Structure 1
Amino acid sequence: MRAKNRLTAGFLKSPPVGKHCDGAGLWLVQREDGGAQWVLRVTVHGRRREMGLGGYPSLGLAEARKIAGRWRDVAAAGRDPVKEREKEERAARREDISLAILTADAFEARKAELKGDGTAGRWLSPLTLHVLPKLGKLPVTDLDQRDIRDTLAPLWHTKADTARKALNRLSIVLKHAAALGLDVDLQATDKAKALLGKSRHVAKNIPAMAWADVPGFYASLEEPTPTHLALRLLILTGVRSNPLRHIRLDQIEGDVWTVPADAMKGRKGATEAFRVALSREALRVIDLARPHARNGFLFPNNQQGVISDMTLSRHMERRGLEARPHGFRTSLRTWLAEATDAPHEVAEAMLAHVVDGGVVRAYRRTDFLEQRRKLAERWADHVTGGAGQVVKLAGAR
């Protein structure tokens, strides 16, 4: 056995900078700034482990030797002292493994991949509004399917989409807790879903305007305000509200607007941006909006951000319209089906929908930009009051 108790109280009154061995893996590390730290080095299953025991002189020599002896015994028994200490700390602070704490930790771990949801807080809202007020203080290791069922039952048949999102988020939190080494039931959400039964909620599509009525609404957007101009460009391009509201001047080159991959919903893990063919009318709208641009954004709000989705929706609501901004995508897609002979894959590409399997897409390396450019011009002709004749694409099957 290696010699122990090499250090003395006299030496510790003024130890030089460096590492000083007390024996059997216990070291005092004296820093240049005057501080010092006790460190224990042990070997577990052939793997060297190092753990800090505390600072000196708050932790004296005798106490450091006592603590070191305890963790050496743990290592001798074949257990990792670092992990054992972590388990003890978690057990001593039960509130640190509450569902609320683990939810916040899981959110931080995945926030970077959540696109706009990370900053807008929509990922968290199903839990913060409907789950954490009732279960937030519960240790995540105690959470079971009955807790989840009782919490989500009031939503299951009335707000099914919210309840489904809450279940999905809870599953992610439980997997995160399991990855941290906590003993959780990873099937709790699936069991809760089985207990809740089939939802009676019938999903409703977002109200859309008939494509024949779009020109009349477009003509009413005559003022060059950010709201009117944003709605015009939304109609003309068929994109979703989020990339439209966050459009930047540096994303526009010529008659092409390149939407970053991470802004495209439904393209998780996508590495390619999406190109939007801009019609002459769309370019005119962009030019009208340029005087409003700030910090690179074409449609800024009065603070530091961009125009909100609610601003666009409320404008239509105040006009007494049932349709909502997102519904213009449906208007465009229906027009493509009823008033053009565009192939299915081209029509779907107009709305940035992902079609076919990954293998097919890997070999079909086109985004149909030129075909979409022609359709964008015809759609612009329609919404600005042009003729509604059937559009034919050259070479279309």
Structure 2
Amino acid sequence: MANTYTNHKGIKAASTDKPQAMFKDTECKGLYLRVYPTGRKVFIHRYWLNGKERLYTLDAPEITPKSTEREIAGALSKARALVAEQKAMIGSRNAESREDPAIERSLNVLSAAAVPTVAEFASTYMTRHAKKKKKSWEEDQRILNVDVLPFIGDMKIDKVEKKHINALLDRKEDAGALVARNRLLSLLHKFFNFAIERGEIKSHINPAAKITKEEETARDRVLTDDEIRMLWAATSDESNLDISTRLAVRLRLITGQRSSEIVTARESDIQGDVWSMDETKNGLAHAIPLTGMALQVIEEARPHARNGLLFPARNGGVMAVQVLSRIFERIPWELEEGQIRPTPHDLRRTLRTGLGALNFDNFIQRRVTNHKEKNQIDTTYNRYDYMNEKRAALEAWGRKLEETIFGQTASNVVPFKIAG
């Protein structure tokens, strides 16, 4: 029978990939095992009193993935004994009032045992909040897995203090990753606010509150012609890279679109030589014409598409955007002293810089990259799609890339003005 157990072996095997699951004891009526995806397990007495269902967290040893079979068997024995004691207590009370003051008093004391750990609540946060409200929920999952759970995942969520948050942030700052530090702070602020909303933190104090963000130095990195050639070579079919990954990087260079839009591109989004995006980071629907270089990349990707995705992860789902960043980390860039390594985001800046050098103004550059206009009134009332202008800009950029990568001669190609 699903979601039941009979002995300590059944308890050890009980697992779930949901925020939590209940397993019924087949030999002790009313005894249940609450199981969390982290492997933590607690015993619950489920009973009815005065017509209302009650759930009582038993004061039996907590079970973890490290618990031995002997420890699990001992915890089960104690839990069954406690249920028997409580049944006797309830049955001995006045039959008319059906009051249970001892157990109800104990519930308040023992409720702390039911407070989830940070790792357990992370599952709730992802399921109940991030995946429902954030297009970038996979980035939240990555940050939690890398920068939070390995360090404070085992802590009860209501025991996390400001000093613990600062320790996490200091790790990113010491690594020189101020942008990543600020993203981590933003996530932790939302994470603990959601815990307060769910009633998991009774004090209503958010440990990530009133911690200031560090000032970020704006990047002005633009790839040089040599670096573009190096990136193209590193993403060739002779590389050891997964084909979807290397083609995704190439399309990002050719089109200047965001990583999140590249990895979620679907075959159905491509109609002829136009790529339409209904959902984008800034919430604005967007469409761009595809040049010959872009169409060549897409046609090369089509045989490897899965579940409708042009550039799927190896498991067939949406590729994580950080996978693209890892390619840039592997390339042996020839950096001058004090020069920072390029990132995928620098490809957008490289495209815009290139379009500027090709005499396309900021207005058309923003239309190509789908940046919001500062004057929202213009955006609201001007519904022209500028497709012809975007096509001219991207075709000029394509010719510039071909000349840079393959050495073709084009009279209307000018060198980039590299930001200093």
Q: State whether TM-score is above 0.5.
A: yes
Query: Where in structure 1 are there 5+ consecutive unaligned residues?
Result: 1-36, 42-50, 74-83, 391-397
Alignment match of 1:170 (pick from 183, 188, 206): 188
Partner Cα separation in structure 1 for residue 315 and residue 268 of structure 2: 21
Displacement of 1:336: 1.9
- Counterparts in 2 of 1:171 and 1:324: CA distance versus 1, 3 Å: closer
| Counterpart in the other structure of 1:240 | 258
1:235-314 alignment, distance < 5 Å: 235-261=253-279, 264-265=280-281, 267=282, 270=283, 272-300=284-312, 303-305=315-317, 310=323, 314=327
Q: SS state of the match for residue 190, structure 1?
A: coil
| Counterpart in the other structure of 2:222 | 208
The structure number with the bigger radius of gyration is 1
Contact 1:257–1:276 (CA under 8 A) maintained in structure 2: yes
Root mean square deviation, CA, Å? 4.4
Does residue 347 of structure 2 align to residue 328 of structure 1? yes
| Counterpart in the other structure of 2:366 | 348
Does residue 66 of structure 2 align to residue 52 of structure 1? no
Percent identical residues = 21
Contact 1:301–1:307 (CA under 8 A) maintained in structure 2: yes
Q: SS state of the match for residue 123, structure 1?
A: helix
Partner Cα separation in structure 2 for residue 63 and residue 317 of structure 1: 71
TM-score normalized by the length of structure 1: 0.63
Contact 2:222–2:353 (CA under 8 A) maintained in structure 1: no
- Counterparts in 2 of 1:284 and 1:141: CA distance versus 1, 3 Å: closer
Does residue 411 of structure 2 align to residue 387 of structure 1? yes
Query: Where in structure 2 are there 5+ consecutive unaligned residues?
Result: 1-46, 56-83, 335-340, 404-409, 415-420
- Counterparts in 2 of 1:295 and 1:189: CA distance versus 1, 3 Å: closer
Displacement of 1:333: 0.4
| Counterpart in the other structure of 2:66 | none
Displacement of 1:253: 0.8
- Counterparts in 2 of 1:214 and 1:155: CA distance versus 1, 3 Å: closer
Partner Cα separation in structure 2 for residue 223 and residue 180 of structure 1: 50
Alignment match of 1:144 (pick from 158, 161, 176): 161
Displacement of 1:169: 2.3
Contact 1:94–1:139 (CA under 8 A) maintained in structure 2: no
Displacement of 1:304: 2.8
Partner Cα separation in structure 2 for residue 124 and residue 217 of structure 1: 28
1:250-303 CA-partner distances (Å, limit 9, x unpaired):
111122111240xx23x2xx3x53212212442243334433434433334655
Partner Cα separation in structure 1 for residue 121 and residue 97 of structure 2: 31
| Counterpart in the other structure of 1:108 | 127
Contact 2:192–2:206 (CA under 8 A) maintained in structure 1: no
- Amino acid in the other structure paired with 1:277: P
Alignment match of 1:184 (pick from 203, 209, 213): 203
Partner Cα separation in structure 2 for residue 227 and residue 156 of structure 1: 29
Displacement of 1:378: 1.6
| Counterpart in the other structure of 2:356 | 337
Contact 2:222–2:346 (CA under 8 A) maintained in structure 1: yes
Q: SS state of the match for residue 265, structure 2?
A: coil
Displacement of 1:64: 8.1
What is the total number of aligned residue pairs between the two structures? Answer: 321
Displacement of 1:348: 1.0
TM-score normalized by the length of structure 2: 0.60
